[in-house]
Amino acid sequence: MLLLYEQEMNEQEFMKAYDSYADALFRHCYFRLYDRERAKDLVQDAFMKAWEYIAKGREVENIRAFLYRILHNLIVDEFRKKKTVSLDELYEKGIDIPTREKLDQNDMAEIKNIISIFRKLKPNYGDAVAMRYIDDLTPKEIATITGESENNVSVRINRATAQLRALMKIL
């Protein structure tokens, strides 16, 4: 009985984490892969991997950061395995924007704009900018996610921000 309670409690907590973070994680994944379907798969995988870890009896202090970390590693693997989509191809195949929720022309244009700016950033800057400005993660949190020092992360964010600002001025 006690065992069942423990399992259910963890399961409920875990699924609360899903409810809270799935969208943000998906968004993060999308802004790095630009492939909607793959993004969905990776997010699903991340939750499953996170659960496997927890089910082994290991403690997780900050489930949000933990999920981001797993997802980040999956994304890195993805980049290693396949090519990144070029901007031209992206426009050709049509940007994977959710169509169930109707987006007006303005929204579409804005999203395309943001995506094209992001794509112009240097490879490592994209994830720094996404984590800082879209996911609202602190440099410390980003450091635990990517496994770098907080200092490196801060430096990278500053440089990425500078490049981002420059690009936004142009467009």
Residues 125-144 that bind another protein (CB under 8 A): 129, 133-134, 136
Tokens for 32, please give them. Answer: 């790095």
Residues 30, 127, 142, 145: which binds another protein (CB under 8 A)? 30
Write down the least CB distance from residue 149 to another protein, Å.
22
Which residues in the 91-120 window bind another protein by CB under 8 A? 93, 97-98, 100-101, 103, 107, 110-111, 113-114
Q: Are 32 and 94 in contact (CB under 8 A)?
A: no
Compute how many residues bind another protein; rule: CB under 8 A: 77
- Residue 86 or 149: the one with the smaller Cβ distance to another protein is 86
Q: Is the dihedral of CA 124, 127, 132, 137 positive or negative?
A: negative
Neighbours of 3 (CB within 10 A): 7
Asked if 168 is part of the footprint of another protein (rule: CB under 8 A), the reply reads yes
Write down the least CB distance from residue 152 to another protein, Å.
21
Tokens for 74, please give them. Answer: 């999956």
Asked if 16 is part of the footprint of another protein (rule: CB under 8 A), the reply reads yes
Amino acid identity of residue 133, one-letter, is Y
3-state secondary structure of 137: coil
Q: Are 43 and 71 in contact (CB under 8 A)?
A: yes
